[in-house]
């Protein structure tokens, strides 16, 4: 029986969204408005790529989705925290995200800022709570991994260089730094966190780390292309914002066709890292292709 990515994504999204409903603070708890803001952004329709990668990474080494659900949801919380902050007027000043008005358009800038802060803190609470379902000695390296990928050595560091590069002529090395940190770090971390919590071997975890690095770069190249040729209804946010803000992107540096080739090259390199894995890694194989072939 052939593997169906559509069925896999649907089933894993259901698990993740049910868990998020449980883990997120209730809108009836004080401070209610903050909790409404958090739930507004986290429960908005999304692809849930990062939490799905946590689950797929665990499954690839013989683990289960249930083992890693708290950490999967933690990665979604960190991702949404970054989206809320990215959309603020002091950053990208975007009006729409995931097909609806951005958080600050509904709740105001101050509450949006605090909702993002609260989600980052909640993420580390959830990872710590994963010790209830896996050995605690697997949780500590996961906390370190996620913290490093989220902060100055990862996503936040990449965002800073991205902002500093607006309107500038950048080298390919700088562009690679931006993409591998701003986007790639958290995607890589997601796969590795799942495998770490599920007890993967050092060899398996290293192969999945390399897989994650390749799909992380491919993902952001594809995003760069979709910002030019994508459809707002499909991608859930305005197109053309990168060009409007004169951001450093692959199409700007290499053109659309070469960028497409580079994304596909990264996808093939990612798939090569899975050669020693059996069919339990089929979701990761399919996800690599999905990331690159989503209408670019």
Domains of the chain, each with CATH number or no CATH: 5-292 (1.10.600.10)
Q: What would the pLDDT profile of 116-168 be if each residue is shown by its tens digit?
A: 999 999 999 999 999 999 999 999 999 999 999 999 999 999 999 999 998 88
Instruction: Report residue 80's pLDDT band, with 50, 70 and 90 as the boundaries.
Output: very high
Instruction: Report residue 234's pLDDT band, with 50, 70 and 90 as the boundaries.
Output: low
Q: What would the pLDDT profile of 170-188 be if each residue is shown by its tens digit?
A: 999 999 999 999 999 999 9
Give the sign of the dihedral formed by CA 219, CA 263, CA 215, CA 157: negative
Q: Is pLDDT above 80 for 1?
A: no
φ and ψ of 96, to 5 deg: -135, 145
Q: What percent of the chain has pLDDT over 70?
A: 94
Q: What is the pTM of this model?
A: 0.94
Q: Is pLDDT above 60 for 290?
A: yes
Which residue, among 37, 36, 127, has the nearest Cα to 83 in the 3D structure?
Answer: 37
H or E stretch covering 138 = helix 136-150
Q: Is pLDDT above 90 for 294?
A: no
Joined together, the tokens standing for residue 13 give 């999204």
Query: Do 197 and 249 contact (CB within 8 A), yes or no?
Result: no
H or E stretch covering 78 = helix 65-86
CA–CA distance, 50 with 71 (Å, rounded to integer): 10
Q: What would the pLDDT profile of 238-278 be if each residue is shown by its tens digit?
A: 565 666 667 889 999 999 999 999 999 999 999 999 999 99
| Average pLDDT over every residue of 200-222 | 97
């Amino acid at each position: 029986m052939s593997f169906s990515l559509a069925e896999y994504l649907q089933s894993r999204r259901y698990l993740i969204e049910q868990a998020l409903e449980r883990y997120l603070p209730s809108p009836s708890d004080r401070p209610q408005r903050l909790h409404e803001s958090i739930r507004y952004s986290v429960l908005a329709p999304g692809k849930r790529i990062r939490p799905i990668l946590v689950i797929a990474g665990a499954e690839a080494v013989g683990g289960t989705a249930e083992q890693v659900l708290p950490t999967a949801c933690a990665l979604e919380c960190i991702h949404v925290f970054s989206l809320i902050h990215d959309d603020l007027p002091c950053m990208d000043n975007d009006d729409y995200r995931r097909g609806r008005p951005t958080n600050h358009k509904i709740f105001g800038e101050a509450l949006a800022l605090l909702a993002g802060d609260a989600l980052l803190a909640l993420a580390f609470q959830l990872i710590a709570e994963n010790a209830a379902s896996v050995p605690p000695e697997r949780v500590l390296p996961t906390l370190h991994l996620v913290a490093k990928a989220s902060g100055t050595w990862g996503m936040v560091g990449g965002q800073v260089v991205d902002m500093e590069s607006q309107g500038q002529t950048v080298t390919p090395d700088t562009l690679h730094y931006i993409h591998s940190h701003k986007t790639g770090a958290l995607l890589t971390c997601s796969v590795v966190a799942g495998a770490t919590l599920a007890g993967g071997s050092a060899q398996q975890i290293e192969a999945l780390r390399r897989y994650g690095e390749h799909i992380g770069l491919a993902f952001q190249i594809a995003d760069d292309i979709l910002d030019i040729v994508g459809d707002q209804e499909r991608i859930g946010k305005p197109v053309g914002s990168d060009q409007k803000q004169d951001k450093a992107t692959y199409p700007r540096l290499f053109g659309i066709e070469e960028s497409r080739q580079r994304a596909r090259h990264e996808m093939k390199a990612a798939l090569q890292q899975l050669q020693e894995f059996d069919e339990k890694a089929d979701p990761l194989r399919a996800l690599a292709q999905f990331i690159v072939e989503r209408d670019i």
